[in-house]
Amino acid sequence: MSSCKFFPDSLLGWLHLLILTYAIIIILSHWRQRNSPDSHRPAPLPNPPDPTPPKQDEATPTKDLPIPRLSYNENTIVTLITEIYRTYQKLNYIAVDELIWPPAETGHAINERLGAALHLDPAVISLMKRLPYPRTSRLAETVPITPLSHALVYLEDAEIRGGRDPERYGHFDDLRADVLRPWEIALSGFADEGECLVLDVGENTIRVWEWDGLPPGDDENNFRAYHAHHAPTFLSNHLEKLRALEMIPCGHSGARGYWVLDSAEVASTHGSRERCRSSTAGLGWNAYWPDV
């Protein structure tokens, strides 16, 4: 009796059997997926975005972003102050022979030993040596370099001492040595109880110290409560006002002072310029107004 063959007796037969088995498995798998009850359910909708994003994803308002400011650079301060003085000369407000310019290589020969005794920061002493000055402090008192302040001439020992206590300097003999910190320097002194510009070389800021002003806060004698202006920006704004003739330095009633074009005292730009022409001519200067 012959036996039935359930298995192929050759390699090719085995290969055909494997292919047939694999095809049957694939067909059965597809059939089960199509007839599954879950296959007729609609696909779920994606979750809608949350209308209120978490706080960490919210954009930071622009006003809260810190404004980058340049750190103190002596060359920048010297350049701006030098340009301000050159503009005064172009406007015939200060004569050529009324200024002393620092030697390019060494700077002014100021009393550095006195500066060290007053505990001045080396950066302050270095700046003193590189600034232009009116020839004498007496001349400086008659030539305001801002509407309400005059230059301090650090070529003179008395000015170095007085610059440490600009509020009392010129009014009292007993000056305080610790009003300004070692890294602060008065760029100008009070003119007729006006204002004083104090530069902080550490912060690179300028504060406008008002003689009769009241700074915010509890201590009315603390001038550091006044707003700290970015020093290069403050000086640049002053320079641009001069160049645009928004602020014209000139003489009045026999003395040098300022006409501010938007002041109520001035009826028009033309009137202001004509008054400055006549006042500078009365002081013996060549009163013309070139482009600056």
Report the pLDDT value the prediction gives residue 274, as an integer from 0 to 100. Answer: 55
Residue 38 counted as domain residue: no
The mean pLDDT value for 110-131 works out to 97
Greatest alpha-carbon span in the chain: 148
Same domain, 237 and 254: no
How many other β-carbons are positioned within 10 Å of the β-carbon of residue 80?
Answer: 17
pLDDT at 91 over 50: yes
pLDDT at 281 over 90: no
Per-residue pLDDT reduced to its tens digit, 149-178: 999 999 999 999 999 999 888 777 788 888
Q: What's the 3-state SS for the chain?
A: CCCCCCCCCCHHHHHHHHHHHHHHHHHHHHHHHHCCHHHHCCCCCCCCCCCCCCHHHCCCCHHHCCCCCCCCCHHHHHHHHHHHHHHHHHCCCCCHHHEECCCCCCCCCCCHHHHHHCCCCHHHHHHHHHCCEECCHHHHHHCEEECCEEECCCCCHHHHHHCCCCCCCCCCCCCCCCCCCCCEEECEEECCCCEEEEEECCCCEEEEEECCCCCCCCCCCCHHHCCEEEHHHHHHHHHHHHHCCCEEEEEECCEEEEEECCCCCCCCHHHHHHHHHHHHHHCCCCCCCCCC
Q: CA–CA separation, 222 vs 226, rounded Å?
A: 8
Report the pLDDT value the prediction gives residue 288, as an integer from 0 to 100. Answer: 41
- Bigger pLDDT: 54 vs 181: 181
Residue 62 counted as domain residue: no
The share of the chain scoring above pLDDT 70, in percent, equals: 67
> 128 with 115: CB under 8 angstroms?
yes
Per-residue pLDDT reduced to its tens digit, 173-192: 788 888 899 999 999 998 87
pLDDT at 286 over 50: no
Same domain, 211 and 273: no
Same domain, 129 and 152: yes
pLDDT at 2 over 90: no
Report the pLDDT value the prediction gives residue 154, as an integer from 0 to 100. Answer: 98
Q: CA–CA separation, 228 vs 184, rounded Å?
A: 13
Partners of 260 in beta bridges: 247
Report the pLDDT value the prediction gives residue 160, as an integer from 0 to 100. Answer: 97
Residue 204: left if φ>0, alpha if ψ -120 to 50, beta else—which one? left
pLDDT at 200 over 60: yes
- Confidence band for 287, pLDDT divided at 50, 70 and 90: very low
Report the pLDDT value the prediction gives residue 243, as an integer from 0 to 100. Answer: 93
Partners of 273 in beta bridges: none
Report the pLDDT value the prediction gives residue 94, as an integer from 0 to 100. Answer: 93
Highest mean pLDDT among 46-50, 190-194, 281-285: 190-194
227: tokens are 């707003």
Per-residue pLDDT reduced to its tens digit, 241-262: 999 988 888 766 567 876 665 5
Residue 277 counted as domain residue: yes
218: tokens are 């509890």
The mean pLDDT value for 197-212 works out to 92
Distances (CA, A) of 145 to 81, 187, 209: 10, 10, 15
Report the pLDDT value the prediction gives residue 217, as an integer from 0 to 100. Answer: 63
Same domain, 138 and 79: yes
Same domain, 214 and 268: no
> Can you give the residue range of the structural domain that contains 92?
74-241
Residue 82 counted as domain residue: yes
- Bigger pLDDT: 103 vs 262: 103
What's this model's pTM, rounded to 2 decimal places? 0.68
Same domain, 107 and 125: yes
User: Of the residues 206, 224, 241, which one is the last residue of a structural domain?
Assistant: 241
Same domain, 131 and 260: no
Residue 34 counted as domain residue: no
Residue 204 counted as domain residue: yes
Same domain, 255 and 274: yes
pLDDT at 42 over 70: no
Number of domains in the chain: 2
Same domain, 274 and 194: no
Closest CA to 209 of 220, 198, 218: 198
pLDDT at 60 over 90: no
Q: CA–CA separation, 226 vs 208, rounded Å?
A: 7
CA torsion angle 130 136 138 144 (round to 10)? -40
